[in-house]
Amino acid sequence: MKLRSPSWLCNRFLFFLRAFPRGGKMTVLFGEHTSSDIAAIAKRKKKPVVILPMGALEAHGEHLPLWTDTITPFKLAQKVAEKTGALVLPPIPYGFCYTLRPWKGTVSLKSHTFALVIRDITRELVRNGLDRILFMNGHGANATIAGHVLKELADELEFTACVVSWWNIRELGAESGHADENEASLVMSLTGWKRRAARQAPSHQYFGRVIPMPKDQFTKYGYAGKVGGESVARGRKMEKVIVDKMVRLVKADLLLKENE
């Protein structure tokens, strides 16, 4: 048995005092740790997965908040981290929002700007010794851009990354819209957002990806899909399915086979 010096024991004690600020429960938020905390975590033989929520600031009809795509993956990431010991990074609150720019409140980055953000954050995480990264996505276009960037980075850096858009989890068995009753239910469940009436209006899906976007791809209110059936109960069911799947993913070191 290797004896430890009093100074080493003292430093470890101080680390645990800082890392467990809430009645003995270790914080899952990366930003609540100190520099020395992260240095100690990065030296572990089994390092935690870090989760980066990717969001956007864009119109979500008349009934959901502009930061829906940011707060949703952030809240989901926290729940996953609490069950796995993962660390949740501060979310990226802006994304590439080409399609929703006609509606007020949408603030978009250029695609190459978002790509540079993903590239730089990934490089910095790896430099800090954190090389397993789960990109929890809340905005559709982000996943495509992040995927291309990560593939290129994998040629020069050693890391394992996984990009997941919550609505693509097959166990949900739900069609994906934009600010539809599924997304609204999840926001209500995760954040306590109070239900607001949404007026059903027509929108149309087109074969392939049409550019420029047809004006009627979204309703005149800035959403797509069915509204009216949203509820907290529905959101809680979705939340459980998503979190359970993501917990399995983290425990599988981001290498979860779909048929297992």
The pLDDT of residue 19? 47
CB 136 within 8 A of CB 246: yes
| DSSP string across 54-88 | E--B--BTBTS-TTHHHHHHHHHHHHHHHHH--EE
| pLDDT digits 0-9 by tens, 12-31 | 444 444 444 444 567 999 99
Average pLDDT of the residues in 107-112? 97
The pLDDT of residue 15? 46
pLDDT band (50, 70, 90) for residue 177: confident
Average pLDDT, the chain: 90
- Which CATH number fits the domain 44-251, given the four candidates 3.30.360.10, 1.10.3720.10, 3.40.640.10, 3.40.50.10310? 3.40.50.10310
Average pLDDT of the residues in 175-200? 91
Paired tokens of 192 = 């306590």
| pLDDT digits 0-9 by tens, 214-246 | 989 999 998 998 988 999 999 999 999 999 999
Paired tokens of 14 = 């101080």
pLDDT band (50, 70, 90) for residue 148: very high
User: Nearest to residue 183, comparing CAs of 215, 217, 224, 216?
Assistant: 224
| Domain boundary assignment for the chain | 44-251
| pLDDT digits 0-9 by tens, 60-99 | 999 999 999 999 999 999 999 999 999 999 999 999 999 9
CB 97 within 8 A of CB 216: no
pLDDT band (50, 70, 90) for residue 5: low
The pLDDT of residue 62? 92
Give the separation between CA 112 and CA 9, rounded to whole angstroms.
47
The pLDDT of residue 11? 52
The pLDDT of residue 76? 98
Q: What is the dihedral of CA 179, 180, 185, 191, to 10 degrees?
A: 0
Residue 112 pLDDT > 50: yes
